[in-house]
Amino acid sequence: MHLLIGIHAAMGEAGALAFLWVLIELLNPSESRLRRARIAAALGTLLLVGAWFVGGFYYVTEYAAVVKPIIKGGPLPWTHEVITETKEHVFLFLPFLGILVWGLLSRYQNELRQNRNIRVAVIILSGLIVLMAFAIAGMGFMISSGFRAALEAKML
């Protein structure tokens, strides 16, 4: 167990839930719901940026030096070579998508009540962020499994 992984995962999932909140507020928007959506998008973006920093710090200081060689020497090396490599790069899309959602909500504000096209655009983007964040959490589970399998193989 590592505290930084817990903080990284918690910030990422809380960020995903913030964008689920944005999506729900936009289904039947009013002035107050749009204001809450802007707050949720700003909060979600900050959480994703936080997950980026904490995950990056863990990746550079701990994972690369300690975890990666063990996974690569274990029975499931693909969990690093395919899953970690994909996760660490696809994750970079998320904070930028968060900025886009926040930017559209801030730019169009109450116009979103009348403009269905832009509302649909923000709903779809928020849904994409939620799906990607949970998919990335699933990748984290696979990487942990690869590490555990490698440790078990060493012990047995």
Partner 1 sequence: MRINAVALIRSIIAVIWLIVGMTFLTEVSPEFKSILVQFASHHWIGKSVLSAIALVAFYLFFRKFKESNGVLGGVFLVIGSVILGGVSIFSFFLWHFVNK
Cα gap 112→155, rounded to integer Å: 58
Q: Does 93 bind partner 1 (CB under 8 A)?
A: yes
Q: Is residue 150 within 8 Å of residue 76, measured between CB atoms?
A: yes
Min dist. Cβ of residue 67 to partner 1 (A): 14
Cα gap 10→16, rounded to integer Å: 10
Nearer to partner 1, 93 or 141 (CB): 93
Q: Is residue 97 within 8 Å of residue 45, measured between CB atoms?
A: no
Q: What does the per-residue mask of binding to partner 1 show for 33-72, with x meaning CB under 8 A?
A: -------------------x---x--xx---x--------
Q: Is residue 80 within 8 Å of residue 143, measured between CB atoms?
A: yes
Return the residue of 42, 51, 104, 133 that touches partner 1, per CB under 8 A: 104
CA dihedral 119, 122, 128, 130 (to 10 degrees): -100
Nearer to partner 1, 64 or 151 (CB): 64
Q: Using CB under 8 A as the criterion, which residues of the chain lie in contact with partner 1 when the complex forms?
A: 52, 56, 59-60, 64, 77-78, 81-82, 85-86, 88-90, 92-93, 96-97, 99-100, 103-104, 106-108, 117-118, 120-122, 124-125, 128, 132
